[in-house]
């Protein structure tokens, strides 16, 4: 909705790979790099949970000139990782940072792809008549949520 040219590209990729005669399948994801990238960027930008679970250092550590004693509680701020303009990595970690991965990550990624590609296969999303701009600011608390707005889902 905010970037209709990206939505159009996703529609084109879906039409080319899946068509309209069948539902999206997990196997389609490999042939849909642009759609996958849009999902990743949406997750990065959306950043629903800005803080990770608390961890503790397992040994005395020096980090960027700071001494951190063994056993110190550390709460990673994922927002700082996701919005760091100096780091543009191909690897995107929406489910955590560090060695421990989310147990449901592969299931969540699969479901996200299926839901998103199915919705995009069937609908074009646009602002309601008379609305020219959509807010991208979040309401921040323990979690981040989008500023409420209305949208139109138009059958393709």
Q: Is 102 annotated as a binding residue?
A: yes
> Does residue 76 contact residue 52 with C-beta atoms inside 8 Å?
yes
Alpha-carbon 39 to chain mean position: 6
Q: Residue 77 pairs with which residues in a beta bridge?
A: 51
Q: Cα–Cα distance between 153 and 75 in angstroms, integer?
A: 39
Residue that is written with structure tokens 């449901």 in the block: 104
User: Per the annotation, where are the binding residues?
Assistant: 102
User: Per the annotation, where are the binding residues for heme?
Assistant: 102
């Amino acid at each position: 909705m905010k970037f209709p040219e990206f939505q159009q590209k996703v529609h084109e990729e879906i039409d080319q790979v899946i068509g309209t005669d069948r539902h999206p399948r997990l196997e389609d994801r490999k042939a849909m790099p642009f759609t996958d990238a849009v999902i990743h960027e949406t997750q990065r930008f959306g950043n629903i949970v800005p803080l990770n679970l608390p961890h503790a250092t397992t040994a005395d550590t020096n980090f960027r000139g700071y001494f951190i004693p063994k056993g110190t509680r550390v709460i990673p701020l994922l927002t700082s990782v996701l919005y760091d303009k100096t780091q543009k990595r191909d690897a995107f970690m929406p489910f955590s940072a560090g060695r421990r991965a989310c147990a449901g990550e592969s299931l969540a990624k699969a479901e996200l792809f299926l839901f998103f590609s199915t919705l995009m296969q069937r609908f074009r999303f646009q602002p309601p008549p008379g609305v020219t701009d959509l807010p991208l600011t979040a309401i921040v608390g323990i979690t981040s949520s989008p500023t409420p707005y209305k949208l139109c889902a138009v059958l393709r």
